[in-house]
Structure 1
Amino acid sequence: MDITIVDHPLAAARLTIMRDRRSDNSVFRAALRDLGAMLIYEAARDLDVERFDTETPVATATGTRLRKPPIIVPVIRAGLGMVDPALSMIPDAQVGFIGIARDEETHEPVPYLEALPEDMSDETVFIVDPMLATGGSLLHSLKLLCDRGAKDITAVCMVSAQPGVDALANSGYPVRLVTATVDPELNADAYIVPGLGDAGDRLYGPRNIHL
Protein backbone atom coordinates (compact mmCIF):
# COMPACT_ATOMS: atom_id res chain seq x y z
CA MET A 1 0.00 0.00 0.00
CA ASP A 2 1.27 3.44 -0.94
CA ILE A 3 1.47 5.83 2.04
CA THR A 4 2.15 9.56 1.74
CA ILE A 5 2.97 11.40 4.97
CA VAL A 6 2.59 15.13 4.44
CA ASP A 7 5.30 16.51 6.73
CA HIS A 8 5.25 20.12 5.51
CA PRO A 9 5.96 22.62 8.32
CA LEU A 10 2.58 24.32 7.87
CA ALA A 11 0.79 20.98 8.04
CA ALA A 12 2.72 20.10 11.20
CA ALA A 13 1.79 23.45 12.76
CA ARG A 14 -1.95 22.91 12.09
CA LEU A 15 -1.72 19.37 13.44
CA THR A 16 -0.11 20.71 16.61
CA ILE A 17 -3.04 23.08 17.13
CA MET A 18 -5.46 20.18 16.68
CA ARG A 19 -3.55 18.04 19.18
CA ASP A 20 -3.48 20.78 21.83
CA ARG A 21 -6.13 20.07 24.47
CA ARG A 22 -6.51 23.84 25.00
CA SER A 23 -7.85 24.36 21.46
CA ASP A 24 -11.60 24.95 21.66
CA ASN A 25 -14.11 23.89 19.00
CA SER A 26 -13.63 26.98 16.83
CA VAL A 27 -9.82 26.83 16.94
CA PHE A 28 -9.89 23.09 16.24
CA ARG A 29 -12.24 23.57 13.26
CA ALA A 30 -10.05 26.28 11.75
CA ALA A 31 -6.92 24.15 12.02
CA LEU A 32 -8.77 21.15 10.59
CA ARG A 33 -9.96 23.20 7.60
CA ASP A 34 -6.42 24.29 6.81
CA LEU A 35 -4.88 20.85 7.27
CA GLY A 36 -7.70 19.22 5.32
CA ALA A 37 -7.04 21.48 2.34
CA MET A 38 -3.32 20.68 2.49
CA LEU A 39 -3.94 16.93 2.51
CA ILE A 40 -6.44 17.10 -0.35
CA TYR A 41 -3.93 19.19 -2.30
CA GLU A 42 -1.37 16.40 -1.90
CA ALA A 43 -3.89 13.62 -2.56
CA ALA A 44 -4.82 15.27 -5.87
CA ARG A 45 -1.24 15.48 -7.12
CA ASP A 46 -1.55 12.61 -9.62
CA LEU A 47 -5.13 13.15 -10.83
CA ASP A 48 -5.58 13.03 -14.60
CA VAL A 49 -5.73 16.43 -16.27
CA GLU A 50 -6.55 17.78 -19.70
CA ARG A 51 -4.99 20.75 -21.48
CA PHE A 52 -6.79 23.49 -23.36
CA ASP A 53 -6.16 26.95 -24.76
CA THR A 54 -7.07 29.88 -22.55
CA GLU A 55 -6.87 33.55 -23.48
CA THR A 56 -4.98 35.85 -21.15
CA PRO A 57 -5.16 39.65 -21.53
CA VAL A 58 -1.93 39.38 -23.53
CA ALA A 59 -1.86 36.07 -25.46
CA THR A 60 -2.96 32.44 -25.54
CA ALA A 61 -1.75 30.17 -22.74
CA THR A 62 -2.12 26.47 -22.09
CA GLY A 63 -4.71 25.88 -19.40
CA THR A 64 -5.13 22.86 -17.14
CA ARG A 65 -8.20 21.31 -15.54
CA LEU A 66 -9.05 17.97 -13.98
CA ARG A 67 -10.22 15.47 -16.56
CA LYS A 68 -12.76 14.10 -14.08
CA PRO A 69 -12.99 15.32 -10.48
CA PRO A 70 -13.03 12.67 -7.74
CA ILE A 71 -15.99 11.82 -5.56
CA ILE A 72 -15.42 13.00 -1.99
CA VAL A 73 -16.82 10.52 0.56
CA PRO A 74 -16.74 11.64 4.20
CA VAL A 75 -17.19 9.11 6.96
CA ILE A 76 -19.79 10.79 9.16
CA ARG A 77 -19.61 12.32 11.69
CA ALA A 78 -16.05 13.61 11.97
CA GLY A 79 -15.47 13.30 8.22
CA LEU A 80 -18.02 16.06 7.61
CA GLY A 81 -15.43 18.54 8.80
CA MET A 82 -13.24 17.64 5.82
CA VAL A 83 -15.89 18.19 3.13
CA ASP A 84 -15.58 21.98 2.90
CA PRO A 85 -11.75 21.88 2.74
CA ALA A 86 -11.97 19.25 0.01
CA LEU A 87 -14.49 21.30 -1.99
CA SER A 88 -12.38 24.43 -1.56
CA MET A 89 -9.65 22.59 -3.47
CA ILE A 90 -11.93 20.70 -5.90
CA PRO A 91 -15.16 22.73 -6.13
CA ASP A 92 -16.70 20.62 -8.90
CA ALA A 93 -16.31 17.32 -6.99
CA GLN A 94 -19.38 15.26 -6.13
CA VAL A 95 -19.96 14.15 -2.55
CA GLY A 96 -21.19 10.80 -1.22
CA PHE A 97 -21.75 9.87 2.42
CA ILE A 98 -21.07 6.93 4.72
CA GLY A 99 -22.35 7.06 8.29
CA ILE A 100 -20.56 4.99 10.91
CA ALA A 101 -20.75 5.35 14.68
CA ARG A 102 -18.43 3.83 17.27
CA ASP A 103 -19.74 1.40 19.85
CA GLU A 104 -18.07 2.67 23.01
CA GLU A 105 -18.11 -0.77 24.65
CA THR A 106 -16.87 -2.99 21.84
CA HIS A 107 -15.00 -0.25 19.89
CA GLU A 108 -16.54 -1.77 16.75
CA PRO A 109 -17.99 0.35 13.91
CA VAL A 110 -21.79 0.62 13.73
CA PRO A 111 -22.92 1.59 10.20
CA TYR A 112 -26.13 3.58 9.86
CA LEU A 113 -26.04 5.42 6.50
CA GLU A 114 -24.76 5.10 2.97
CA ALA A 115 -25.44 7.46 0.08
CA LEU A 116 -23.24 6.46 -2.83
CA PRO A 117 -23.56 6.02 -6.60
CA GLU A 118 -24.52 2.48 -7.60
CA ASP A 119 -21.67 2.16 -10.12
CA MET A 120 -18.31 3.58 -9.05
CA SER A 121 -16.15 1.51 -11.40
CA ASP A 122 -14.96 4.55 -13.37
CA GLU A 123 -14.68 6.93 -10.42
CA THR A 124 -11.74 8.21 -8.45
CA VAL A 125 -12.73 8.28 -4.78
CA PHE A 126 -11.28 10.32 -1.92
CA ILE A 127 -12.62 8.91 1.35
CA VAL A 128 -12.03 11.45 4.12
CA ASP A 129 -11.96 10.86 7.87
CA PRO A 130 -9.75 12.76 10.34
CA MET A 131 -8.79 9.63 12.29
CA LEU A 132 -7.57 6.18 11.28
CA ALA A 133 -7.47 4.25 14.58
CA THR A 134 -8.24 0.52 14.46
CA GLY A 135 -9.19 0.76 10.80
CA GLY A 136 -12.63 -0.79 11.39
CA SER A 137 -14.67 2.14 10.04
CA LEU A 138 -12.42 2.63 7.05
CA LEU A 139 -12.40 -1.08 6.17
CA HIS A 140 -16.21 -1.15 6.29
CA SER A 141 -16.29 1.93 4.05
CA LEU A 142 -13.83 0.39 1.60
CA LYS A 143 -16.00 -2.70 1.31
CA LEU A 144 -19.00 -0.54 0.43
CA LEU A 145 -16.98 1.30 -2.21
CA CYS A 146 -15.45 -1.85 -3.70
CA ASP A 147 -18.86 -3.56 -3.79
CA ARG A 148 -19.86 -0.73 -6.15
CA GLY A 149 -16.82 -1.33 -8.34
CA ALA A 150 -14.44 1.35 -7.05
CA LYS A 151 -10.82 0.59 -7.93
CA ASP A 152 -9.08 3.94 -7.44
CA ILE A 153 -9.46 4.95 -3.78
CA THR A 154 -7.43 7.35 -1.66
CA ALA A 155 -8.00 7.53 2.09
CA VAL A 156 -7.24 11.00 3.46
CA CYS A 157 -6.78 10.88 7.25
CA MET A 158 -5.18 13.54 9.39
CA VAL A 159 -3.94 11.28 12.19
CA SER A 160 -3.30 7.59 11.60
CA ALA A 161 -2.37 4.93 14.15
CA GLN A 162 0.07 2.20 13.18
CA PRO A 163 -2.46 -0.60 13.94
CA GLY A 164 -4.94 1.02 11.56
CA VAL A 165 -2.30 1.51 8.89
CA ASP A 166 -1.35 -2.17 9.22
CA ALA A 167 -4.99 -3.23 8.97
CA LEU A 168 -5.38 -1.15 5.82
CA ALA A 169 -2.20 -2.53 4.28
CA ASN A 170 -3.24 -6.12 4.99
CA SER A 171 -6.82 -5.68 3.76
CA GLY A 172 -6.15 -6.23 0.07
CA TYR A 173 -8.35 -3.27 -0.89
CA PRO A 174 -7.11 -0.97 -3.68
CA VAL A 175 -6.37 2.02 -1.48
CA ARG A 176 -3.56 4.45 -0.80
CA LEU A 177 -3.23 6.60 2.29
CA VAL A 178 -2.47 10.29 2.61
CA THR A 179 -1.95 11.41 6.20
CA ALA A 180 -0.19 14.06 8.28
CA THR A 181 1.26 11.59 10.79
CA VAL A 182 1.37 7.95 11.87
CA ASP A 183 1.11 7.68 15.65
CA PRO A 184 2.49 4.53 17.27
CA GLU A 185 -0.38 2.97 19.18
CA LEU A 186 -3.90 2.82 20.58
CA ASN A 187 -4.91 2.93 24.22
CA ALA A 188 -7.30 0.52 25.98
CA ASP A 189 -10.26 2.55 24.69
CA ALA A 190 -8.97 2.30 21.09
CA TYR A 191 -8.07 5.99 20.94
CA ILE A 192 -4.94 6.99 19.05
CA VAL A 193 -1.93 7.81 21.25
CA PRO A 194 -0.85 10.58 21.36
CA GLY A 195 -3.62 11.42 18.89
CA LEU A 196 -5.93 14.35 19.46
CA GLY A 197 -8.90 12.87 21.30
CA ASP A 198 -12.31 12.36 19.68
CA ALA A 199 -12.29 14.40 16.46
CA GLY A 200 -16.09 14.46 16.24
CA ASP A 201 -16.45 15.79 19.78
CA ARG A 202 -13.78 18.42 19.19
CA LEU A 203 -15.50 19.54 16.00
CA TYR A 204 -19.12 19.50 17.09
CA GLY A 205 -19.27 18.91 20.85
CA PRO A 206 -19.88 15.67 22.77
CA ARG A 207 -22.50 13.24 21.54
CA ASN A 208 -25.50 12.58 23.71
CA ILE A 209 -26.70 9.62 21.67
CA HIS A 210 -25.37 6.19 22.64
CA LEU A 211 -25.61 3.18 20.35
Structure 2
Amino acid sequence: MTNVNLIDHPVIQTKLTELRDFTTDHRKFRTLLDEIAGLMVYEVTRDWPTTPKIVQTPLERMTGRVLSRPVTLVPILRAGLGMADGVLKMLPDARMGHLGVYRNEQSLEPVTYYQKLPPDIASTEVLLIDPMLATGGSGSAAVSFLKKAGVTSMKFVCLVASPEGIQTIHRTHPEVPIYTAAIDRELNNKGYILPGLGDAGDRIFGT
Protein backbone atom coordinates (compact mmCIF):
# COMPACT_ATOMS: atom_id res chain seq x y z
CA MET A 1 0.00 0.00 0.00
CA THR A 2 1.18 3.50 -0.80
CA ASN A 3 2.60 5.48 2.12
CA VAL A 4 2.29 2.52 4.50
CA ASN A 5 5.47 1.17 6.07
CA LEU A 6 5.19 -2.36 7.44
CA ILE A 7 7.91 -3.02 10.01
CA ASP A 8 8.17 -6.81 9.91
CA HIS A 9 11.43 -7.27 11.80
CA PRO A 10 11.52 -10.80 13.26
CA VAL A 11 12.13 -9.59 16.83
CA ILE A 12 9.15 -7.24 16.61
CA GLN A 13 6.98 -9.98 15.12
CA THR A 14 7.95 -12.41 17.90
CA LYS A 15 6.97 -9.90 20.58
CA LEU A 16 3.77 -8.99 18.70
CA THR A 17 2.73 -12.64 18.59
CA GLU A 18 3.08 -12.86 22.38
CA LEU A 19 1.20 -9.57 22.72
CA ARG A 20 -1.76 -10.95 20.74
CA ASP A 21 -2.09 -14.01 23.00
CA PHE A 22 -5.17 -13.58 25.19
CA THR A 23 -3.35 -15.26 28.10
CA THR A 24 -0.79 -12.42 28.25
CA ASP A 25 -1.66 -10.42 31.38
CA HIS A 26 -1.70 -6.61 31.54
CA ARG A 27 1.72 -6.38 33.20
CA LYS A 28 3.41 -8.41 30.46
CA PHE A 29 1.29 -6.67 27.83
CA ARG A 30 2.63 -3.26 28.92
CA THR A 31 6.21 -4.53 28.88
CA LEU A 32 5.88 -5.98 25.39
CA LEU A 33 4.18 -2.88 24.03
CA ASP A 34 6.95 -0.73 25.51
CA GLU A 35 9.63 -2.89 23.88
CA ILE A 36 7.95 -3.00 20.47
CA ALA A 37 7.44 0.77 20.41
CA GLY A 38 11.12 1.32 21.15
CA LEU A 39 12.19 -1.07 18.41
CA MET A 40 9.89 0.59 15.87
CA VAL A 41 11.53 3.98 16.47
CA TYR A 42 14.57 3.00 14.40
CA GLU A 43 12.55 2.57 11.21
CA VAL A 44 10.11 5.40 11.89
CA THR A 45 12.92 7.97 12.25
CA ARG A 46 15.19 6.63 9.53
CA ASP A 47 14.60 9.53 7.11
CA TRP A 48 14.64 12.40 9.62
CA PRO A 49 17.08 15.18 8.70
CA THR A 50 20.29 15.69 10.65
CA THR A 51 22.82 18.52 10.98
CA PRO A 52 26.58 18.37 11.67
CA LYS A 53 27.85 18.84 15.21
CA ILE A 54 31.48 19.10 16.27
CA VAL A 55 32.39 17.13 19.41
CA GLN A 56 35.62 16.45 21.26
CA THR A 57 36.33 12.75 21.71
CA PRO A 58 38.96 11.63 24.26
CA LEU A 59 41.46 11.71 21.36
CA GLU A 60 40.43 14.44 18.89
CA ARG A 61 37.71 16.66 17.53
CA MET A 62 35.29 15.20 15.01
CA THR A 63 32.06 16.09 13.24
CA GLY A 64 29.08 13.94 14.13
CA ARG A 65 25.40 14.30 13.29
CA VAL A 66 22.37 15.18 15.40
CA LEU A 67 18.66 15.50 14.65
CA SER A 68 17.89 18.81 12.94
CA ARG A 69 14.55 19.42 14.61
CA PRO A 70 13.03 18.84 18.05
CA VAL A 71 10.61 15.94 18.45
CA THR A 72 7.08 15.88 19.84
CA LEU A 73 5.23 12.69 20.72
CA VAL A 74 1.45 12.89 20.65
CA PRO A 75 -0.23 9.76 22.03
CA ILE A 76 -3.95 9.45 21.42
CA LEU A 77 -5.41 8.89 24.89
CA ARG A 78 -5.64 6.57 26.48
CA ALA A 79 -4.09 3.58 24.72
CA GLY A 80 -1.42 5.69 23.04
CA LEU A 81 0.17 6.23 26.44
CA GLY A 82 1.14 2.56 26.41
CA MET A 83 3.57 3.20 23.54
CA ALA A 84 4.88 6.57 24.73
CA ASP A 85 7.43 5.32 27.27
CA GLY A 86 9.02 2.95 24.77
CA VAL A 87 9.45 5.77 22.26
CA LEU A 88 10.76 8.16 24.95
CA LYS A 89 13.49 5.70 25.89
CA MET A 90 14.87 6.10 22.36
CA LEU A 91 14.07 9.83 22.07
CA PRO A 92 14.49 11.11 25.66
CA ASP A 93 14.58 14.78 24.64
CA ALA A 94 11.18 14.60 22.98
CA ARG A 95 8.29 16.64 24.37
CA MET A 96 4.84 15.20 24.91
CA GLY A 97 1.51 16.47 23.69
CA HIS A 98 -1.76 14.71 24.43
CA LEU A 99 -4.95 14.25 22.44
CA GLY A 100 -8.04 12.72 23.97
CA VAL A 101 -10.13 11.11 21.24
CA TYR A 102 -12.53 8.25 21.84
CA ARG A 103 -14.79 6.29 19.54
CA ASN A 104 -18.54 6.44 20.12
CA GLU A 105 -19.48 2.77 20.36
CA GLN A 106 -22.84 3.33 18.63
CA SER A 107 -21.84 5.57 15.71
CA LEU A 108 -18.14 4.54 15.66
CA GLU A 109 -17.39 8.24 15.11
CA PRO A 110 -14.52 10.01 16.95
CA VAL A 111 -15.22 12.40 19.82
CA THR A 112 -12.47 14.80 20.99
CA TYR A 113 -12.45 15.55 24.71
CA TYR A 114 -8.90 16.76 25.58
CA GLN A 115 -6.07 18.60 23.81
CA LYS A 116 -2.75 19.79 25.24
CA LEU A 117 0.17 20.47 22.89
CA PRO A 118 3.55 22.24 23.18
CA PRO A 119 3.19 25.81 21.86
CA ASP A 120 5.95 25.37 19.27
CA ILE A 121 4.76 21.98 17.99
CA ALA A 122 4.59 23.33 14.42
CA SER A 123 8.40 23.54 14.28
CA THR A 124 8.99 19.95 15.41
CA GLU A 125 8.90 16.44 14.03
CA VAL A 126 5.68 14.88 15.29
CA LEU A 127 4.93 11.22 15.99
CA LEU A 128 1.23 10.56 16.46
CA ILE A 129 0.96 7.24 18.28
CA ASP A 130 -1.89 4.83 18.95
CA PRO A 131 -1.56 1.03 19.22
CA MET A 132 -4.58 0.31 16.99
CA LEU A 133 -5.60 1.87 13.68
CA ALA A 134 -9.11 0.38 13.42
CA THR A 135 -11.79 2.46 11.67
CA GLY A 136 -9.32 5.33 11.29
CA GLY A 137 -11.83 7.84 12.63
CA SER A 138 -9.89 8.79 15.75
CA GLY A 139 -6.58 8.84 13.88
CA SER A 140 -7.96 11.04 11.12
CA ALA A 141 -9.49 13.43 13.65
CA ALA A 142 -6.16 13.63 15.50
CA VAL A 143 -4.25 14.38 12.30
CA SER A 144 -6.74 17.13 11.45
CA PHE A 145 -6.30 18.67 14.89
CA LEU A 146 -2.50 18.63 14.56
CA LYS A 147 -2.70 20.25 11.15
CA LYS A 148 -4.81 23.03 12.63
CA ALA A 149 -2.02 23.51 15.17
CA GLY A 150 0.39 24.11 12.28
CA VAL A 151 2.09 20.71 12.15
CA THR A 152 3.50 19.96 8.70
CA SER A 153 5.80 17.01 9.43
CA MET A 154 4.13 14.08 11.17
CA LYS A 155 3.96 10.30 11.05
CA PHE A 156 1.23 8.00 12.35
CA VAL A 157 2.72 5.12 14.33
CA CYS A 158 0.60 2.13 15.35
CA LEU A 159 1.09 -1.48 16.28
CA VAL A 160 -1.73 -3.08 14.30
CA ALA A 161 -3.71 -1.56 11.43
CA SER A 162 -6.80 -2.64 9.52
CA PRO A 163 -7.17 -2.12 5.76
CA GLU A 164 -10.23 0.04 6.49
CA GLY A 165 -8.29 2.28 8.87
CA ILE A 166 -5.46 2.71 6.40
CA GLN A 167 -7.98 3.65 3.70
CA THR A 168 -9.54 6.27 5.99
CA ILE A 169 -6.18 7.94 6.70
CA HIS A 170 -5.25 7.80 3.02
CA ARG A 171 -8.57 9.32 2.00
CA THR A 172 -8.45 12.19 4.48
CA HIS A 173 -4.69 12.75 4.85
CA PRO A 174 -2.89 10.99 1.98
CA GLU A 175 0.44 12.70 2.67
CA VAL A 176 0.77 11.35 6.23
CA PRO A 177 2.86 8.15 6.32
CA ILE A 178 1.66 5.23 8.42
CA TYR A 179 4.10 2.95 10.26
CA THR A 180 2.75 -0.33 11.61
CA ALA A 181 3.99 -3.73 12.74
CA ALA A 182 1.02 -5.56 11.21
CA ILE A 183 -1.80 -5.09 8.71
CA ASP A 184 -4.60 -7.39 9.85
CA ARG A 185 -7.46 -8.86 7.85
CA GLU A 186 -10.53 -6.71 8.56
CA LEU A 187 -12.85 -5.07 11.08
CA ASN A 188 -15.78 -6.85 12.69
CA ASN A 189 -19.24 -5.27 12.97
CA LYS A 190 -18.22 -3.55 16.22
CA GLY A 191 -15.19 -1.90 14.65
CA TYR A 192 -12.59 -4.17 16.25
CA ILE A 193 -9.62 -5.41 14.25
CA LEU A 194 -9.53 -9.12 13.31
CA PRO A 195 -7.53 -11.05 14.31
CA GLY A 196 -6.23 -8.06 16.28
CA LEU A 197 -5.29 -8.22 19.94
CA GLY A 198 -8.48 -7.06 21.64
CA ASP A 199 -9.02 -3.65 23.24
CA ALA A 200 -5.48 -2.29 23.67
CA GLY A 201 -6.48 0.23 26.34
CA ASP A 202 -8.21 -2.39 28.45
CA ARG A 203 -5.28 -4.78 28.14
CA ILE A 204 -2.72 -2.06 28.98
CA PHE A 205 -4.52 -0.78 32.05
CA GLY A 206 -6.19 -3.99 33.20
CA THR A 207 -9.71 -2.60 32.92
Q: Shared fold (TM-score greater than 0.5)? A: yes
Instruction: Determine the C-alpha separation between the residues in 1 that align with 2:58 and 2:150.
Output: 45
* Alignment-mate amino acid for residue 19 of structure 1: R
Instruction: Decide which moves more: 154-163 or 78-87.
Output: 78-87
Offset at residue 167 of structure 1 (A): 0.9
Offset at residue 74 of structure 1 (A): 0.3
Instruction: Determine the C-alpha separation between the residues in 1 that align with 2:91 and 2:122.
Output: 20
Q: Name the SS of the counterpart of 2:14 in structure 1.
A: helix
Structure 2 unmatched runs, 5+: none
TM-score w.r.t. the length of structure 2 is 0.94
TM-score w.r.t. the length of structure 1 is 0.92
**Corresponding residue of 1:25:** 26
* Alignment-mate amino acid for residue 56 of structure 2: E
Query: How do 1:21-100 residues align onto structure 2 when only pairs under 5 Å count?
Result: 21-100=22-101
Q: Kindly indicate whether the alpha-carbon contact (under 8 Å) linking 1:73 and 1:96 is maintained by their aligned counterparts in 2.
A: yes
Q: Name the SS of the counterpart of 1:78 in structure 2.
A: coil
Structure 1 unmatched runs, 5+: 207-211
CA RMSD of aligned residues (A): 1.5
Q: Name the SS of the counterpart of 1:139 in structure 2.
A: helix
Q: Name the SS of the counterpart of 1:155 in structure 2.
A: strand
Q: String of CA shifts for 1:176-197, please: whole Å, max 9, x gaps.
A: 0110011120011110000000
Offset at residue 118 of structure 1 (A): 5.1
Relative distance call for 1:34 and 1:184 in structure 2 (3 A) is: same
Q: Name the SS of the counterpart of 1:166 in structure 2.
A: helix
Q: Name the SS of the counterpart of 1:170 in structure 2.
A: helix
Percent identity (aligned): 39
Instruction: Determine the C-alpha separation between the residues in 2 that align with 1:160 and 1:175.
Output: 15
**Corresponding residue of 1:7:** 8
Q: Kindly indicate whether the alpha-carbon contact (under 8 Å) linking 1:5 and 1:181 is maintained by their aligned counterparts in 2.
A: yes
Instruction: Determine the C-alpha separation between the residues in 1 that align with 2:12 and 2:94.
Output: 23
Q: Kindly indicate whether the alpha-carbon contact (under 8 Å) linking 1:155 and 1:175 is maintained by their aligned counterparts in 2.
A: yes
**Corresponding residue of 1:171:** 172
* Alignment-mate amino acid for residue 37 of structure 1: G
List 4+ stretches of structure 1 deviating above 6 A: none
**Pairs aligned (count):** 206
**Corresponding residue of 1:127:** 128
Instruction: Determine the C-alpha separation between the residues in 1 that align with 2:153 and 2:57.
Output: 35
**Corresponding residue of 1:209:** none
Q: String of CA shifts for 1:102-148, please: whole Å, max 9, x gaps.
A: 22222222211011245644332100000000000001101101112
